[in-house]
Amino acid sequence: MRALVQRVSRAKVSVAGEVSGQIDAGLMVLVCAMRGDDSGKCMALARKISKLRIFKDEDGRMNRSILDTGGAALVVSQFTLAADTSRGNRPGFSEAASPETGEALYGEFQEALRELGIPVQSGVFGADMDVELTNQGPVTIWLDL
């Protein structure tokens, strides 16, 4: 599983002009299932994200997790995180999971976050989405499990 995690003060995703998910303070999580990923990787990624200490404490240090702050996560499927540009200028996506597997793991990942106590909003798998966010910090973390 691969994810790009951003600390946000707000984030929203829309499909055809209709909001499908929206959060205030929390995490924007762009996630991609890779070939060979399984349910165990979903849970491991969810646990890692839930414990990332990227929110400020009372001293202004990044020392708190989303669980500590009570924030929410906006999870958006992003198969382009699997892009391979090593052979030229046109990205290849052969390392991404198949659409069927990707969609199933996308759902499992969201459920794993919920089981850990994180409120989750989401985009629509496979849809053409408009994503808006205010990256706070900015803080952006790349995770590859």
What's at 73, amino acid-wise?
A: A
User: What is the tally of structural domains in the chain?
Assistant: 1
Query: 101-136: per-residue pLDDT in tens?
Result: 999 999 999 999 999 999 999 999 999 999 999 999
Q: Which domain holds residue 20?
A: 2-84+96-144
pTM value is: 0.95
Three-class secondary structure of residue 108 per DSSP: helix
Which of 22, 55, 69, 79 is labelled catalytic?
79
Query: 49-104: per-residue pLDDT in tens?
Result: 999 999 999 999 999 999 999 999 999 999 999 999 999 999 999 999 999 999 99
109 included as an active-site residue: no
110 included as an active-site residue: no
**In this structure, what token pair is assigned to residue 66?**
């989303």
Which of 6, 22, 69, 80 is labelled catalytic?
80
Domain membership flag for residue 91: no
Query: Tokens 């990787």 sit at which residue?
Result: 41
- Give me the sign of the Cα torsion angle 139, 104, 117, 47: negative
Query: How much is the pLDDT for 97?
Result: 97
CATH of the domain at 77: 3.50.80.10
Which of 6, 55, 69, 78 is labelled catalytic?
78
Query: 5-15: per-residue pLDDT in tens?
Result: 999 999 999 99
Domain membership flag for residue 89: no
78 included as an active-site residue: yes
